[in-house]
Structure 1
Amino acid sequence: MSDITITTTDGLEGREVTEYLGVVSGEAVIGANVISDIAAEIRDVVGGRSGSYEKKIEAGRREAITDVRAGAAELGADAIVGASFDYEEMGEGMLWVNLSGTAVETRRR
C-alpha cells in the first residue's frame, strides 16, 4: 500500500495513466488540548513558531496519506494523481485535514 505514488500533478513522469478508477480521500481530525493551546498563543504573541501544532498537523497529514493510499489500494490503483490537501477549522481546538485525488492505474512507458 505504501508503494502507491501520490502526486499533485495530473500525470507521472515515465508512466502513462491507463485507467482512472475514481476519487479517493483520506481524512484526519486533530484536536488540541488547553495546555498546548495556551503555549501556542504565547508563542504567537512573541513571534515564535508553535512546534506542538506543527507536529499535530504533520501527524494529521500522515494519517490522511495513509487513508488515501488504503482507498486507492482497494480500487487496485498504483498511483493517485491530482492530490490536494485541504485544512478546515471544525470548532475550537479542532482541525480537519483532508487529502483527495484520483486513483489511477499506470504503466511504464
Structure 2
Amino acid sequence: MLLSTTDTLQGFEITDYLGLVTGETIMGANILRDVMGTVTDYVGGRAAAYEESLGQARDVSIEEMRDRAQVLGADAIVGVSMDYETVGSRGAMLMVTCSGTAVRLRKV
C-alpha cells in the first residue's frame, strides 16, 4: 500500500476517497531506558534506547493505519501526518499517532 504526505500521487488518479484512517500507539518506557536516557542527558549524545522505542511505536502506528485502510479496500493513504507526544503523570509513556485519507487509485 502506498503512503504519502502529499494529497496526490504522481502517475495515479484518485478515483475514490474512502475516509479518514488512523493509527495510535502508546508505549511505556522501562526503568533501564529511563536511566540510560538520564545519563545521555548529562553527558550528551544520542539516546539509542529511546530512539528504538520511538521507531517501534511509529511502525506499529503506521501498520495499524494501513490495516484500517485495507479493510476499506484502499490502494493508498494520502495526506499522512504523524504526531509524537509524551503522556502520563511523569511523561513516562510515548504516544505516536498518524492519520491520513484512504483512497482508491487508477494508474494514468
TM-score band (shorter)? over 0.9
Q: Which residue pairs with 1:88 in the alignment? A: 85
The alpha-carbon deviation at position 34 of structure 1 amounts to: 1.5
Q: Which residue pairs with 1:78 in the alignment? A: 75
In structure 1, what is the Cα distance between the partners aligned to 2:14 and 2:53? 34
The alpha-carbon deviation at position 33 of structure 1 amounts to: 1.0
Q: Which residue pairs with 2:103 in the alignment? A: 104
The alpha-carbon deviation at position 46 of structure 1 amounts to: 1.1
In structure 2, what is the Cα distance between the partners aligned to 1:83 and 1:13? 16
Is 1:55 the counterpart of 2:52? The answer is yes
- Find the residue that maps to 2:41 and give its secondary structure: helix
In structure 2, what is the Cα distance between the partners aligned to 1:87 and 1:36? 18
The alpha-carbon deviation at position 35 of structure 1 amounts to: 1.8
Moved over 3 A (4+): none
Aligned with 1:40 (options 17, 37, 45): 37
- Which amino acid is 1:36 matched to? R
Q: Which residue pairs with 1:27 in the alignment? A: 24
Q: Which runs of 5+ in 2 are unaligned?
A: none
- TM-score, normalised with respect to structure 1: 0.94
- TM-score, normalised with respect to structure 2: 0.95
In structure 2, what is the Cα distance between the partners aligned to 1:86 and 1:13? 25
CA RMSD of aligned residues (A): 0.8
In structure 1, what is the Cα distance between the partners aligned to 2:74 and 2:33? 39
Identity %: 47
Is 1:14 the counterpart of 2:3? The answer is no
The alpha-carbon deviation at position 95 of structure 1 amounts to: 0.9
- Find the residue that maps to 2:80 and give its secondary structure: strand
The count of corresponding residues between Structure 1 and Structure 2 is 106
